């Protein structure tokens, strides 16, 4: 079984809009490249545990389940939002 964690694009876009931030500013504050955040947002890359921690820190008080979607074998976990 393969488990992957991907970014919840809609939730992150709402969160950065509420903070008057751009995707580029999110990348800067999280210490990652703007290209990488773009790939995460599109779902072509999956964030490492360290990147997930950084994004959670920047998007505080959102919880893990607000920001990320857990997928098993390419399908969304029924417990994710």
- State pLDDT tens for residues 5-61: 999 999 999 999 999 999 999 999 999 999 999 999 999 999 999 999 999 999 999
CA 33 to chain centre: 14
pLDDT of 53: 97
pLDDT of 79: 52
Q: Is residue 81 part of a domain?
A: no
* Nearest Cα residue to 12 out of 4, 1, 51: 51
Distances in Å between the Cα of 15 and the Cα atoms of 8, 63, 66 are 11, 12, 10
* Nearest Cα residue to 12 out of 49, 74, 62: 62
Q: How many domains does the chain have?
A: 1
Q: Is residue 70 part of a domain?
A: yes
Q: Is residue 10 part of a domain?
A: yes
- What is the full DSSP assignment across 48-76? -HHHHHHHHHHTTT--HHHHEEEEETTEE
Which CATH number belongs to the domain containing residue 60 in this structure? 1.10.260.40
Per-residue pLDDT for 78 more than 70? Answer: no
60: containing domain: 3-75
């Amino acid at each position: 079984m393969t488990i992957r964690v991907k970014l919840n694009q809609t939730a992150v876009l709402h969160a950065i809009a509420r903070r008057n931030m751009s995707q580029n500013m999110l990348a800067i504050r999280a210490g990652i490249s703007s290209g990488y955040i773009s790939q995460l947002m599109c779902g072509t890359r999956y964030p490492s545990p360290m990147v997930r921690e950084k994004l959670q820190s920047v998007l505080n008080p959102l919880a893990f389940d607000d920001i990320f979607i857990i997928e098993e074998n390419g399908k969304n976990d029924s417990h994710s939002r």
